[in-house]
Structure 1
Amino acid sequence: MVTLPRLMVAAPASGHGKTTVATGLMAALARAGHTVSGHKVGPDYIDPGYHALATGRPGRNLDPHLVGEERLVPLLLHGAAGADLAVIEGVMGLYDGQIGGDGFASTAHVASVTRTPVVLVVDISSASRTIAATIHGLRTWAQPPVDVVGVVLNKAGSARHADEVVRSIGDQLPVLGVLQRDDGIEAPSRHLGLVPAAERADASAALDRLAAQIAERVDLERVVRLARAAPGLEGPPWDPRVVHREMAADHPSGQPLPGGLPGVRAGSARIAVAGGRAFTFRYAETTLLLQAAGAEVVELDPLTDTRLPEGTTGLYLGGGFPEMHAAELGANERLLRELRTAITRGLPTVAECAGLLYLCESVRGPDGPALPMVGAVDATAEMAPRLTLSYRTATSPADNLLARAGEVVTGHEFHRTHLTRTPTGDAAWLMPDPAGVATATLHASYLHTHWAGHPQLAARFVEAARTHRGPDLRHHGDKDTGPGLVDLAVNVFDGPRPTWLDRALADSLADADAYPDATDAEAAVARRHGREPADVLATAGAAEAFTLIARLRPWRHPVVVHPQFTEPEVALRTAGHTVGQVVLRHEDGFRLDPHDVPVDADLVVVGNPTNPTGVRHPAAVIRGLARPGRVVVVDEAFLDDDVETLADERHAGIVVLRSLTKIWSIPGIRAGYVLAEPDVVRALRDLQTPWSVSAPAIAALIATSNEQAREEALARAHELERRRRHLEDGLHDLGIETVPSTAPYVLARTGVGSRKALRDRGFAVRRADTFPGLSDAWVRISARREAVTDDLLGALRSTHPVLRKPVGIRRSGATVTSLSHTER
């Protein structure tokens, strides 16, 4: 049996002053030297914020709908651990609970389950002797009756008025205090009730005034005596560590996945939890359950923090008022971009209500225009005409980050906004208004859940965060192919090399007895592009160039444009840089908008055309990225027809990379070059390992830089274009969506599981989920000879027998079709 002095503060109805009196009692008792634990009946987030301010301890909720009747006493004991007195604020009227539930989840219900004595707060401003009848009814109506032990009279008009009420009550109940109508101790309110304490600069001062008035007008000593008369409670306190151990015993988790982010231990979870003035709604037990499951919890204030905490592997966005802070949230552009990128890359993210709004494309507040938000959920939000406030029982429609198909949870909705359009994808929960979206890595919904009632949700979230490492940036197409497979994964021209190139490579072996000198090769490349030799640096392929650029300067804010060849980001990370990402969007055709690049980025890396989308960016757009103090690196590895090239003249602040690997079919000979301003070339040369460019690579650079080679390169580029068009036409006929490409490959949305199915039929295509911004529903397919492509199309048709003809949707002047099979 556990002894816990406690009282429940209840009222005949909302508006009688429960929060004022309960919070004032907590503050007054704390200032009198008591260690007070504050609790709230129901799902409310705002009142516990005031309780926490009053007591210096986290405010706690007691709600049988959210957590189950059996957890009320354990949660009360847990929350009150170390306190010598608990004050529980009720909800609505004493007997008002879940609609249709016969008082379930009411103040009286919780008082009965927790065996807590009740102190009534009654607004007497509009009555006198009738108050006695009201109190009598509240004390005796229920069977068995609730243990009402005292009353505080609120909003008395005068001393005579108060005396009349006190005389009418007589001996039936002790009057513990009287508050006057003009005491001025009510908190300000708005569309969701009281303004949260965290948003009020005057909250502490107002609480001090309230505590002083309660201490003056309420008999605190008698309050304490009544609390100490509460009966003992049976059972152990709730313990999140025990809860997690019990779940782990029933459902052991798998082993940690290898790999990790810089500075993060493999198998660890570091979860950023949103806070600050805009995100004040979160149950205290949420953080405790995350920690018990092994996560490190770090705070993120979306109003002031411009970056995710270093090493973040999970993100929790709880409730609050983003609509009231939309201008400040929208102005924090750097964090918006980083969150959009991280979530697109698969950062496990839970967003409840305000979190959902924050992830939308825009939010319109009570007054004013729609303001930009993160944009990870393709919906917009605005104020609704009515408040949505209701308990819910919700079912998961499919497996996702938090829940499993058919799983049922209890929760509540509490918002006065709505989405103006339904997001793409599966709903997070099935309920009257299933607004939200859920995937394997994102769960965003209006539904609030209390994870003490559903601890499996927290455990799954932590497990996802523990195993999250983002796309495998070190994955390359050659890992997708293998013996016995038709190779459509590696972008190397599959025809024979020119005889003159093979002869030059063979002749280069005659120089193997001397250290290689790339001077002649750099002069040849300069002539080929009409530039000075001082503009050229021969490299051992693009990979060496990216490594040199990563070491060129102590970059403050390097940015890589994705989806893109991942070697630049790997090189930057390896050099110790924190890399920003600009993730181009499918709905925008993966086209680059210079305004998406952070203004303070001092290094920008972009592919043209971009691997794996094949989208070619106009040279003017890339030139528009240049600015003083910034280096723009353009990877032109697939720009073999030289359309939109920036290689043929010097541009301030722009570095162009070229590689011979793809078009000349020499991946085994690492040959490439850098074109840049002479001071940049000199700085890169100073970082280069001596003799890093081999004699065969030098020979290849020289041989492929003359006019004969240029004509041959154009012929190969045209052949690859013809092959690509044949591939695109075949995919469109199957109803498969593709991204309009100008490269020797096609990015196609063939559906989840299609890559494995093709592999089982002997075809290797490049997986796309290792590129930031893409999922495993996409694959990259290299353009091959027509007969090879036709065999692939046949395999796709047999893999997806439900494929149908496209419906002719048009986007950006190109036909875009959509795969309509069961795996979409």
Structure 2
Amino acid sequence: MSALPRVVVAAPASGHGKTTVATGLMAALARRGLEVSGHKVGPDYIDPGYHALATGRPGRNLDPHLVGVERIVPLLLHGSRTPRAADVAVVEGVMGLFDGQIGGDGFASTAHVATLTDTPVVLVVDISSASRTIGAVVAGLAGFDPGVRVAGVILNKAGSPRHAEEVRRAVAATGIPVLGVLGRDDHIVAPSRHLGLVPAAERADAATALDRLADQVAERVDLDAVLEIARSAPPLDAPAWDPTAEVRGPGAGAAARPRVAVAGGRAFTFTYAETTELLAAAGCEVVVVDPTHDQRLPDDVQGIYLGGGFPEVHAAALSRNAALREDLRAAVAAGVPTVAECAGLLYLTETLDHAPMVGAVAATAAMSPRLTLAYRSATSTEPTLLGRPGETVTGHEFHRTRVEPAAGGTPAWVLEPTASHPRTADGFAGPTLHASYLHVHWAGHPHLAQRFADAAAAATAYRRSPGSPGALGTSGRGTSGSRELPEVPRPEVAPADPLRHHGDVETSDATGRPLVDLAVNTYDGPPPPWLADALRASLEDAGAYPDAGRVRAAQAATARHHSRADDEVLAVAGLAEAFTLVARARAWRHPVVVHPQFTEPDVALRAAGHTVHHVLTHASENFALDPSRVPEEADLVVVGNPTNPTGRVHPAATLRALTRPGRLVVVDEAFMDSVPDRRHTLADAPVPGLLVLRSLTKLWGIPGVRAGYVLGEPAVLAELRAVQTPWSVSAAAIAALHACVGPDAVAEAARRTGELAAWRLVLTRGLDELGVHHVPGGAPFVLARPGAGVRDALRADGLAVRRADTFPGLDASWVRIAARRPATTRRLLSALGVLDLRVPDLGVPDLGAAARP
């Protein structure tokens, strides 16, 4: 019998905060000096990464489908004893408490694992959208299965102390104690992307966020009560799993400790801890290789294991490391036993979204709109490195990519059909190669580890030829799959009138050939159907001047959307008209435009006869705005938020600090509806002396309609109306304005905003890995500094980015890049990856001395 204090952290459904609370509990308990063992129900790799960060020991998985029900308790005990004995185990659940394998009646669910391990459950419940009903939810979960003991509840995302107390009273009626209450805190939520959370290894701020989370959990959760529940768990009657009992060492004739390279680093974060433990138990020397940085395989390598991860996110860095790609290609061709799962399969293909990969498998890979997520059973059809005819293993698929062809020659596996997936051949296999999408937990199938270790022990050690890419003394820039480094041309001459230069002229070359558009800042996709229908219907009114009643109705709907009075909204024909109205409204004495930013305000003010003054923000400060730099005599101040082209989101408090009697502050929020974090918008909070400009062009992708609106004090809007040309706002713009504040628009805006944030993350991660400086921000575009001439080299490669030397305060070393779909972004990153980006410290010209009063 083995005593192990333990607790399962579960929830009614996904999204309630299991990872946040479970990781926070682990970190808070570890801070007390306890040895904490972290575990995750299900196949997920990402949450265990956060567990490892919190506990300082490997995160581990407990999944009956992958390893069999008989191994769950042994693996729990093994994890709690390795590398040292734990004082308490915290097991994070998966999905809802009783949600398991589809069609399996709860098999592999959190409740199933809690029952197998006889572990009490602490529920985490998101209470943000309910109050007393939470009591009913808890009572229902606690009474659904008598074999599952719900021992406590943690309330998450409480809106206020009063709200939390209402829920606490409702839960008290169930007899189950409330152990703590957490409020909303977006700073402790792990960022998401196309396959879920971003791994801890990819987050530079992960440790800081974990410290904040540990502080909150320690302060707001009764840790003593949690430990009391954990200690109430009965002893476990099973031996701990032992990898040395599952495999044997190399044969007598084998070289000692065959060296196996295991992919790691930011691109390959998905490997079960037990996999390397089995390989070590089988006599292998495991050496971790980071394919984004390491230029060569270890000396005398006899086996290669490429696990899961996000190579699609890190494709630029993987592609740029041509030396290791060539080394791997040569090693696989030489017969070094190689296993590749999912990410490893993508890495071995010829290209991934056009970015050159290893080229060891005759296939190409690309992102797909469809997420493949399923438990699978898989059968071998022929003798391969891992499989034998007729053998079946269990595993899971988890990817949003496709490989064409999906299999070739001998497939790695034949995936058996499920209710939603047909029987398919998957991957590529032979005597020394096994590459497929299927993730297999080798603790559940230790014979796979044995076969791989045996093959490695029998293999001839790989030695690269002298002078080959990746060998010592070479440049480290291989040639496989790469192009010759192009000569970066001298930058072209700036336009004669830089302030009138627009990004749409970037999207074709001198011959009129269209280029891949990363220059124009509009959403990469068509308008949603409801908006397209509204625009088509507006054509029925094309035979008459725009109806003033419809304009007022659209303005009223927009006012309600922003919780404003009807007379605080003015419809305009795009922000170009808005800037023109502002320029004509008064005889401005000292108008100021904060730069670098969109140049239309300059053009409008100069056309109206005003002398424009500039206040420059600076790259050394990430283009932050200091209100004290704006001269007191400025009676008009124009600033973007987020600013085009820098992407800088200025705090709302900073912008409010610009206001004062006798001054009008104009905030251009053309891109604010594309920013997930709405804390710094001023559209919903009337401020005296401040105008907010909004555009429908960007998020909704309708630049040809010219639709926008101005929010501000009625008296100031009356000044703008006085100089507005009658009927300037078209029937189509009126229809778009009305449609884009409706309930359909709210839901679609949230979806598009989340999508843009994910696209931007792919771009910024790739730029980081290429060493290209870029400005932090939240806009759906990125201001980057790859160096003078790079923009022209990209144009020669068929890619258009926005030149930045037409913006005051920037030079030709900067470019602005629009957030696009990952496949498009990776094509750009691949093109950047073969350029010689040795950028000198050019410095941003400090024009401020001349521009400031």
Which is higher, the Rg of structure 1 or of structure 2?
A: 1
Matching of residue 176 in structure 1 with residue 176 in structure 2 = no
Matching of residue 444 in structure 1 with residue 435 in structure 2 = yes
Among residues 399, 411, 414, which one is paired with 1:430 in the alignment?
414
- Equivalent residues of 1:9, 1:120 under 8 A apart: yes
Among residues 274, 295, 309, which one is paired with 1:306 in the alignment?
295
Matching of residue 453 in structure 1 with residue 451 in structure 2 = no
- Equivalent residues of 1:341, 1:583 under 8 A apart: no
Letter aligned with residue 434 of structure 2: H
Letter aligned with residue 381 of structure 1: A
Q: Distance in 2 between matches of 1:271 and 1:122?
A: 44
- Please state how far the C-alpha of 1:49 moved relative to its aligned partner: 0.1
- Please state how far the C-alpha of 1:558 moved relative to its aligned partner: 2.4
Among residues 73, 89, 92, which one is paired with 1:89 in the alignment?
92
Q: 1:491-517: CA deviations, max 9, x gaps?
A: xxxxxxxxxxxxxxxxxxxxxxxxxxx
Distance 1:339 1:182, change over 3 A: closer
Q: Distance in 1 between matches of 2:201 and 2:483?
A: 38
Q: 1:572-618: CA deviations, max 9, x gaps?
A: x9xx9999999999xxxxxxx9979xxxxxxxxxxxxxxxxxxxxxx
- Equivalent residues of 1:557, 1:578 under 8 A apart: no
- Please state how far the C-alpha of 1:267 moved relative to its aligned partner: 5.2
- Counterpart in 1 of 2:101? 98
Q: Distance in 1 between matches of 2:210 and 2:110?
A: 24
Q: Distance in 1 between matches of 2:311 and 2:478?
A: 24
- Please state how far the C-alpha of 1:182 moved relative to its aligned partner: 3.9
Indicate the SS of the match to 2:358.
coil
- Please state how far the C-alpha of 1:421 moved relative to its aligned partner: 2.5
Q: Distance in 2 between matches of 1:103 and 1:93?
A: 10
- Please state how far the C-alpha of 1:17 moved relative to its aligned partner: 0.3
Among residues 397, 409, 413, which one is paired with 2:393 in the alignment?
409
Indicate the SS of the match to 2:140.
helix
Q: Distance in 2 between matches of 1:180 and 1:383?
A: 37
> Mean Cα displacement is larger for which, 144-153 or 177-186?
177-186
Indicate the SS of the match to 2:425.
coil
Matching of residue 161 in structure 1 with residue 163 in structure 2 = yes
Indicate the SS of the match to 1:386.
strand
Higher relative contact order, chain-length normalized (CA < 8 Å, sep 6+): 2
Among residues 203, 207, 213, which one is paired with 2:216 in the alignment?
213
- Counterpart in 2 of 1:334? 323
- Equivalent residues of 2:4, 2:88 under 8 A apart: yes
Q: Distance in 2 between matches of 1:54 and 1:582?
A: 39
- Counterpart in 1 of 2:67? 67
Letter aligned with residue 8 of structure 2: M
Q: How does 1:28-177 map to 2 (within 5 A)?
A: 28-81=28-81, 82-142=85-145, 144-171=146-173, 172-177=175-180
Q: How does 1:219-368 map to 2 (within 5 A)?
A: 219-245=222-248, 255-256=252-253, 266=255, 268-364=257-353
Q: Distance in 1 between matches of 2:469 and 2:61?
A: 45
Q: Distance in 1 between matches of 2:427 and 2:468?
A: 31
- Equivalent residues of 2:36, 2:90 under 8 A apart: yes
- Equivalent residues of 2:407, 2:425 under 8 A apart: no
Matching of residue 191 in structure 1 with residue 182 in structure 2 = no
Q: Distance in 2 between matches of 1:560 and 1:317?
A: 20
Letter aligned with residue 454 of structure 2: E
- Counterpart in 2 of 1:22? 22
Q: 1:385-443: CA deviations, max 9, x gaps?
A: 11111100000121100111111000000111111323432111101443310110000
Indicate the SS of the match to 2:413.
coil
Matching of residue 3 in structure 1 with residue 3 in structure 2 = yes
Indicate the SS of the match to 2:444.
coil
- Which portions of structure 1, spanning 4 or more consecutive aligned residues, are displaced by more than 4 angstroms? 576-585, 593-596
Letter aligned with residue 457 of structure 1: L
- Please state how far the C-alpha of 1:158 moved relative to its aligned partner: 1.0
- Please state how far the C-alpha of 1:556 moved relative to its aligned partner: 11
- Equivalent residues of 1:336, 1:374 under 8 A apart: yes
Letter aligned with residue 41 of structure 2: V
Matching of residue 464 in structure 1 with residue 461 in structure 2 = no
Q: Given the two structures, how large is their TM-score scaled by the length of structure 2?
A: 0.53
Letter aligned with residue 288 of structure 1: E
- Please state how far the C-alpha of 1:559 moved relative to its aligned partner: 3.9
Q: 1:212-250: CA deviations, max 9, x gaps?
A: 0000110011111111111110111000011225xx8xx
- Counterpart in 1 of 2:672? none
Indicate the SS of the match to 2:3.
coil
- Counterpart in 1 of 2:368? 384
Letter aligned with residue 373 of structure 1: M
Q: Distance in 2 between matches of 1:322 and 1:230?
A: 41
- Please state how far the C-alpha of 1:96 moved relative to its aligned partner: 0.2
Indicate the SS of the match to 1:417.
strand
Q: % of aligned pairs identical?
A: 65
Q: Distance in 1 between matches of 2:8 and 2:134?
A: 20
Q: Distance in 2 between matches of 1:450 and 1:233?
A: 23
- Equivalent residues of 2:378, 2:393 under 8 A apart: yes
- Counterpart in 2 of 1:644? none
- Equivalent residues of 1:256, 1:267 under 8 A apart: no
Indicate the SS of the match to 1:434.
strand
Distance 1:79 1:321, change over 3 A: same
Q: How does 1:523-534 map to 2 (within 5 A)?
A: none
Among residues 461, 467, 472, which one is paired with 1:558 in the alignment?
467
Q: 1:310-355: CA deviations, max 9, x gaps?
A: 1110000000011111111101111111100010110100000000
Indicate the SS of the match to 1:558.
coil
- Equivalent residues of 1:377, 1:423 under 8 A apart: no
Distance 1:74 1:133, change over 3 A: same
> Mean Cα displacement is larger for which, 156-165 or 427-436?
427-436
- Equivalent residues of 1:352, 1:446 under 8 A apart: yes
Q: Distance in 1 between matches of 2:371 and 2:33?
A: 40
Q: Distance in 1 between matches of 2:185 and 2:289?
A: 40
- Please state how far the C-alpha of 1:256 moved relative to its aligned partner: 2.8
Q: Distance in 2 between matches of 1:412 and 1:8?
A: 23
Distance 1:557 1:182, change over 3 A: same
Q: Distance in 2 between matches of 1:98 and 1:193?
A: 19
Q: Distance in 1 between matches of 2:13 and 2:40?
A: 15
- Please state how far the C-alpha of 1:184 moved relative to its aligned partner: 3.6
How many residues end up aligned between the 2 structures? Answer: 474
- Counterpart in 2 of 1:769? none
- Equivalent residues of 1:119, 1:150 under 8 A apart: yes
Distance 1:212 1:594, change over 3 A: closer
Letter aligned with residue 41 of structure 1: V
Q: Distance in 1 between matches of 2:95 and 2:477?
A: 49
Indicate the SS of the match to 2:443.
coil
- Please state how far the C-alpha of 1:291 moved relative to its aligned partner: 0.4
Letter aligned with residue 398 of structure 1: E
Q: Distance in 1 between matches of 2:120 and 2:35?
A: 19
Distance 1:422 1:227, change over 3 A: closer
Matching of residue 421 in structure 1 with residue 405 in structure 2 = yes
Unpaired runs of 5+ residues, structure 2, are 416-422, 486-853
- Please state how far the C-alpha of 1:292 moved relative to its aligned partner: 0.4
Letter aligned with residue 309 of structure 1: P
Distance 1:156 1:426, change over 3 A: same
